[in-house]
């Protein structure tokens, strides 16, 4: 088989990435037998040299941490969505040699919520204040009509979240992490913290929880998501987010739409079950 088009995911660490599983499943379903998708361990220092080595066979790149901001100076143009959070997770490499940056995490979050019947909420809570939290705020700017409360560990992080709110024209209030149990009564809770961080909150899940969007997917379920489901609440998982943002990447890289969401999700579920 002669590979004529290439794509890959870059980051550090990268060995855990499910992106190759999802993208390859899409190529198989779409009959793109001459496409390949790999993973490459690339940190910020090595990124410029990697870009310099890209040939005309390259169609696109997926970027994970710590490259989402480091890549911006290497690009010819970035979308308004990417600019809104200073983060690029998708680079489309055009036939005329241009490098176009985009962010599919934000519309991916919105799509994952819509798949679970959430088109609009009156208010929401965000747990955490890292890079994923800023993407969560950008997603909420599209669907939340009222206040968002962000629960954070430091005043410096709180100031960052309020600044993102101003930039995104979103009403953001901050509260200390010690009050995070109060977040669980919001109409929509988005947990953006590393594995284990929200485990202690599981005991505080209300008797009739609403919707939890937990961006983790491995290990799954988290203690918080498990308790939430047990009490009958709706749960959107990190795999939902990963698949929906990958669908958008596949469409941008290949020019084929719609990408095969069901096949990609099935491949991701199988890969996680095998871990």
d(CA 205, CA 224): 8
CB 123, CB 147: distance < 8 Å:
yes
In the set 39, 68, 157, 252, the catalytic residue is: 68
d(CA 147, CA 132): 19
CB 76, CB 93: distance < 8 Å:
no
Q: Is 68 among the residues known to form the active site?
A: yes
Active site residues: 68
């Amino acid at each position: 088989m002669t590979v004529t088009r290439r794509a890959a995911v870059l980051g550090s660490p990268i060995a855990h990435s499910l992106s190759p599983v999802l993208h390859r499943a899409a190529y198989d379903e779409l009959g793109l037998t001459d496409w390949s998708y790999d993973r490459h361990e690339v940190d910020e220092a090595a990124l410029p040299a990697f870009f310099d080595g890209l040939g005309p066979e390259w169609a696109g790149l997926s970027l994970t941490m710590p490259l989402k901001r480091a890549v911006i100076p290497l690009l010819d143009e970035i979308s308004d969505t990417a600019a809104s959070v200073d983060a690029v997770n998708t680079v489309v490499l055009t036939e005329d040699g241009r490098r176009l940056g985009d962010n599919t995490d934000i519309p991916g979050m919105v799509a994952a919520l819509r798949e679970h019947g959430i088109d609009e909420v009156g208010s929401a809570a965000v747990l955490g204040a890292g890079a994923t939290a800023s993407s969560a705020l950008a997603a909420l700017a599209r669907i939340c009509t009222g206040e968002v409360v962000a629960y954070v560990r430091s005043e410096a992080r709180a100031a960052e979240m309020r600044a993102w709110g101003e930039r995104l024209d979103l009403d953001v209030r901050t509260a200390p992490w010690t009050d995070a149990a109060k977040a669980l009564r919001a109409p929509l809770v988005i947990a953006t913290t590393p594995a284990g961080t929200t485990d202690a909150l599981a005991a505080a899940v209300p008797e009739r929880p609403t919707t939890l969007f937990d961006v983790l997917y491995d290990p799954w379920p988290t203690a918080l998501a498990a308790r939430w489901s047990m009490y009958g609440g709706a749960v959107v998982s990190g795999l939902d987010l990963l698949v929906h943002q990958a669908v958008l990447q596949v469409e941008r890289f290949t020019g084929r739409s719609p990408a095969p969401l069901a096949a990609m999700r099935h491949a991701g579920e199988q890969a996680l079950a095998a871990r």
